[in-house]
Structure 1
Amino acid sequence: MRPLSGDQVDEAVAGCVAALRAAVDRDWEGVRAGRLEWSCRRAAEHIADDMIGYAGRLAIGAQGRLPFGVSIQEDTDNAGVLDVIRSTGALLAATVRAAPRGARAFHPYPFGSADREGFAAMGVAEVLLHTYDIALGLGLPYEPSEGLAESVLTSLFPHVQPGPAPWPTLLWATGRGELPGRAPVTDWRWRNNLVIPAERLTLTGIRPAAARDLRLGGDGGFEWLDGEPYEGTREASSSMVKAYESGVHRPEFGIFALVRHEDGRAIGGIGFHGVPDEEGRVEIGYDLVEGARGRGYATEALGALAQWALARDDVDMVFATIEHANIPSQRVVSRAGFTRATVDEERIAQDEYDMDAGLLLYIRRT
């Protein structure tokens, strides 16, 4: 799976222009764009407006919406509208390419910001979906590549179980189509990845595509301190991919790369072993590459993630299980505010929740 970049923005825009150019002599203002309330002309202007807005925000790391947009002159013909889409698409593609790896800017859904891959994905999504709407209204054939549709799904819809093919799944997920065995979608939002700040680190949510790459031995799009992640991160990525493919993945309870502020390198992974249970308990795990150990990074990351989880209404307790001989990890959790469970709590965990008798239970509550 290719990481989303300016190349995919260019590809999406080229496909849009190729599909719609066949109808530039038609009346776009008087034709409704598919199921939207907009005209085809309005939907085309919306594509351009979003792309210039995304480019502007990402370019400066804006912390809110910027007070500008695209206004196309009324006497512009449809070919001119397509030129505006080409131009704004090129600006977004160039901005994504130029943005630093850790750049983020405002977007409301759902965590208040997006990175350069997120802005690329949102730009591609706007182009694909609204080109489909316009083409549907004008009676034109349109279907983007499976690679583009899958990239949007794995970047912006990590909560959606993959379907038999990416493009019909994306149409279903955005209320534009049907999938056998799934209820129609009437309300939807895409989901950019979550980041949680810490003092020296950023906990960066790992997307399904990056988890797949990590599972297969890749770098997941991160620059790792020792050249590659520790094996535990790869194992956690494999579990996350299985959860995604089975439709039970909740992105905020997935895994995070620990990205160091001083050099932008990933130094480890941290995350949850699943979603909170009915009693609000959730298990946490972590690892560091060898070159980052002994500097308090694990304690810092563990404290930040536990604090984030315990601030939620659906989490009452975060716990970790550690081998008896792993004294350094026991010290890490203790410094992060976890306490050793009582004998009775450990016995219950062993009897009722199949915790290995060779492990120690550490817990942190609200």
Structure 2
Amino acid sequence: MADMGGDQVEEAVAGCTAALRTAVDRNWAEVRAGRLDWNCHETAVHVADDLVAYAANLAGRAQDAYVPFELRLDDGTDNSGLLHVIETTGALLAATVRTTPREVRAFHPYPFRSADRVGFAAMGIAEVLLHTHDMATGLGLPYRPAEQLAESVLGWLFPHVQPGPAAWPTLLWATGRGELPGRAPVTDWRWYNNLVLPAERLDLVGIRPAAARDLRLGGDGGFDWIDGGPYEGTRDAAGFLLKAYEGGVHRPEFGVFALVRREDGRAIGGLGFHSAPDGEGRVEIGYDLTEAARGHGYATEALRTLADWALARDDVRSLFATVDTANTPSQAVVTRAGFTKVSEDEAGLAFELRAG
């Protein structure tokens, strides 16, 4: 799995300061930062401000808004001092990411109003890489970050962007900073933190492409699984997610979710969509649990939660689930979740739940 944590934050910041330190004698306030409306001084301050804001929100467990403060430089701070501020705020974010439990989420507005430690690390790295590019472009400096850093940012924050032949040009294209052969220019863009849906005893945690790749290759996807997990169905679903991502057709909110037990933070199964809704608003759902978690109502609870979320959307009219004829426990799960049997053949039983 492409790593995303404190070490990567520090690597990104070190690359930024190394590139910009060669031009500390220039007047950054007089040089526009690439395609931005800001000058290089304003852009550097913005980078530091984002790094410390992300650290503060994560450390302070902010839930509804950014922690109410703003970075301000002392009068007379020169470019060397400004780079020291970037190094320091980067170190604060890196330390916060390392010491924050994996289940903690804090406020970030886009798109689902929260992010976990991996999300905050990825956002900080994205700010550093992209704005260092902007400043280096304006100042005429060479800059290209490690390909692994760019690949990590894409895999954790840009699940809707089809990977390109190289990660760094793809990231520049995806953020309106460059061209990519065969793809239209990007004029408006956002990154995606993963969706988390709370149930009564569980959190349904959206699996990102980077985690899906790790699961498909036999890893844990960054989750702490109970004995026997993840089940093979979850690994297969991760493979389908990864295939959709690599094909450029993945819609992040219609992916796969790990079922994480809130009492101990351990993953017990997977649940998700086979694809995005079709033209008639129909979408199929699948799920599994590790054997040790079965018999406690977790699958029904998770299925009801996902169904309620999906059917509240304008683009979903009905949900389908197909169950093997011999799998009576799974049939009971979909029935308890409100699904009705609509057909039966050699492939199994088909159940449907329609929007009210």
1:360 to 343, 349, 356: 349
What root-mean-square deviation, in Å, do the aligned CA atoms of Structure 1 and Structure 2 show? Answer: 0.9
- Alignment partners' CA distance in 2, 1:20 and 1:228: 46
Work out whether residues 228 and 292 of structure 2, in 8 Å CA contact, stay in contact via their aligned partners in 1: no
- Alignment partners' CA distance in 1, 2:179 and 2:347: 49
Residue 174 of structure 1 is matched in structure 2 by 175
- SS of alignment partner, residue 113 of structure 1: coil
AA matched with 2:97? V
Shift of 1:60: 1.8
- Alignment partners' CA distance in 2, 1:61 and 1:84: 23
Question: What TM-score, normalized by structure 2, do the two folds share?
Answer: 0.98
Question: What TM-score, normalized by structure 1, do the two folds share?
Answer: 0.96
Asked whether 1:289 is paired with 2:290, we answer yes
Asked whether 1:96 is paired with 2:97, we answer yes
- Alignment partners' CA distance in 2, 1:264 and 1:56: 23
- Alignment partners' CA distance in 1, 2:138 and 2:104: 37
Residue 273 of structure 2 is matched in structure 1 by 272
Shift of 1:340: 1.1
- Please show how residues 105-184 of structure 1 align to structure 2 within 5 Å: 105-184=106-185
Residue 19 of structure 2 is matched in structure 1 by 19
Runs (5+) with no aligned partner, structure 1: 348-355
Shift of 1:66: 1.5
Shift of 1:74: 3.3
- Alignment partners' CA distance in 1, 2:156 and 2:347: 38
- Please show how residues 220-299 of structure 1 align to structure 2 within 5 Å: 220-299=221-300
AA matched with 1:245? E
- Alignment partners' CA distance in 2, 1:19 and 1:358: 59
- Alignment partners' CA distance in 2, 1:236 and 1:66: 37
Q: What is the identity percentage for the equivalent residue pairs of Structure 1 and Structure 2?
A: 71
- Alignment partners' CA distance in 2, 1:98 and 1:311: 36
AA matched with 2:19? A
Asked whether 1:6 is paired with 2:3, we answer no
Q: Deviations over 1:89-118 (max 9, x none)?
A: 000000000101101001111111000000
Shift of 1:81: 0.2
Residue 322 of structure 1 is matched in structure 2 by 323
- Alignment partners' CA distance in 2, 1:73 and 1:101: 35
Runs (5+) with no aligned partner, structure 2: none
- Alignment partners' CA distance in 2, 1:357 and 1:314: 30
Shift of 1:73: 2.1
- SS of alignment partner, residue 305 of structure 1: helix
- Alignment partners' CA distance in 1, 2:79 and 2:34: 18
AA matched with 2:331? Q
- Alignment partners' CA distance in 2, 1:89 and 1:301: 37
Work out whether residues 3 and 117 of structure 1, in 8 Å CA contact, stay in contact via their aligned partners in 2: no
AA matched with 1:358? A
Work out whether residues 207 and 258 of structure 2, in 8 Å CA contact, stay in contact via their aligned partners in 1: yes
Work out whether residues 28 and 39 of structure 1, in 8 Å CA contact, stay in contact via their aligned partners in 2: yes
AA matched with 1:40? C
- Alignment partners' CA distance in 1, 2:157 and 2:33: 23
AA matched with 1:334? T
- Alignment partners' CA distance in 2, 1:230 and 1:358: 22
Shift of 1:134: 0.4
- Alignment partners' CA distance in 2, 1:327 and 1:245: 35
Q: Deviations over 1:153-175 (max 9, x none)?
A: 01110000001100000000000
Count how many residue pairs are aligned between Structure 1 and Structure 2: 354
- Alignment partners' CA distance in 2, 1:256 and 1:267: 11
Residue 213 of structure 1 is matched in structure 2 by 214
Residue 83 of structure 2 is matched in structure 1 by 82
Work out whether residues 228 and 291 of structure 2, in 8 Å CA contact, stay in contact via their aligned partners in 1: no
Work out whether residues 3 and 221 of structure 1, in 8 Å CA contact, stay in contact via their aligned partners in 2: no
Q: Deviations over 1:303-342 (max 9, x none)?
A: 000111001000000110011111000000011111111x
- Alignment partners' CA distance in 1, 2:318 and 2:75: 59
- Alignment partners' CA distance in 2, 1:358 and 1:46: 56
- Alignment partners' CA distance in 1, 2:212 and 2:24: 42
- Alignment partners' CA distance in 1, 2:74 and 2:187: 34
Residue 56 of structure 1 is matched in structure 2 by 56
Shift of 1:227: 5.0
- SS of alignment partner, residue 334 of structure 1: helix
- SS of alignment partner, residue 29 of structure 1: helix
Shift of 1:135: 0.3
Shift of 1:226: 1.1
Shift of 1:358: 2.6
